[in-house]
Amino acid sequence: MLGSTSSQVNVQKLQRANIRGTLGRGIEQDTERHIAFAGPERLIHSGVKQDSPTIPLPPEPNRMPERTERHLTWKKLEPDRFRVMLAVLFRMEIPNIQVEQLLGPAIAIGIVLFTFLLYWLLRPQPDPFPYESREALMSESELAFFEVLEEALEDEYRIYSKVRLEDVIQVRPGTDSRSAFTARNRIKSRHVDFLLCDPESMEIIASIELDDRSHERQDRIERDIFVDEALRVSGVPCIHFPVQRKYSRRELRRGIEEGISKDN
């Protein structure tokens, strides 16, 4: 019994000795690897001489990765609310500069904005009613023609001057919206020189165009062709008279009667 106990103790001692030997060899190997990796400077800094058999200190634990320059910049910017605000507003990285260095550009920008605001407030306001009266409804040549026309027709027709073409003809009902829009735009902003109406029913009888030299231009020729055709298909005769120094009442009446009877 006693012998078995002593043998067990010896076995345990032997195992401990083997463990120590193994640990010693492992530590020596780790030391050699540490010297090869870190170099003698690391060991000297750690308090271990290069030729010393003393076991060196274990390597320092892994450090946290150093912050980038951007992180350092933001850390310095934290107490500076002005620069942080600029960075947030403009979504840009602000270099690590002092607030004093930003004052100059900020003042310049402020002066420009203030000048622009002052100009915008003091600028001339547009007139909401930029209109004025014309000198007369008719030109001299139109007035001379109108006076003779009234004498020639007497009270047979009512005569109106400068009537919008859109008030004389219209787009036929049932026309598709796209075609109607285009057709209406073609007669907008156009007018006839004179319009003859029945004195009682105000029925449209005929239109009169007084042709001066401007009607010889190519654009006016194309305009007259379009207006004449639009009036013709609408059932409204369009009678043309050239501008003259003097007009004959008889010729004007005969021309109007022929123009009305021709289209009827």
Residue type at 92?
M
Report the pLDDT value the prediction gives residue 106, as an integer from 0 to 100.
80
Architecture of domain 140-263: Alpha-Beta Complex (3.90)
Better pLDDT: 158 or 61: 158
Quote helix, strand, coil % in the chain, to nearest 5.
Answer: 55, 10, 35
Strand partners for 196: 159, 206
**Closest C-alpha to 208, from 244, 179, 253, 241:** 241
Strand partners for 242: 211
Better pLDDT: 99 or 175: 175
Q: CB of 56 within 8 A of CB of 41?
A: no
- pLDDT, one tens digit per residue, over 180-209 is 999 999 999 899 999 999 999 999 999 999
Report the pLDDT value the prediction gives residue 86, as an integer from 0 to 100.
59
How far from the centroid of its chain's Cα atoms is residue 250's Cα? Answer: 64
**Whole-model pTM?**
0.55
Angle at 64 between CA 60 and CA 65, to 5 degrees: 120
Residues carrying CATH 3.90.1570, the chain: 140-263
Across 52-58, average pLDDT: 53
Report the pLDDT value the prediction gives residue 211, as an integer from 0 to 100.
93
Q: CB of 51 within 8 A of CB of 31?
A: no
Tell me the C-alpha to C-alpha distance, in Å, between residue 178 and each of 172, 231, 234. 13, 21, 20
In this model, does residue 58 exceed pLDDT 80? no
- pLDDT, one tens digit per residue, over 104-161 is 778 888 899 999 998 888 888 888 888 999 999 999 999 999 999 999 998 899 999 9
Q: CB of 186 within 8 A of CB of 225?
A: no
Across 175-183, average pLDDT: 94
How far from the centroid of its chain's Cα atoms is residue 230's Cα? Answer: 41
What whole-number percentage of the chain has pLDDT above 70? 61
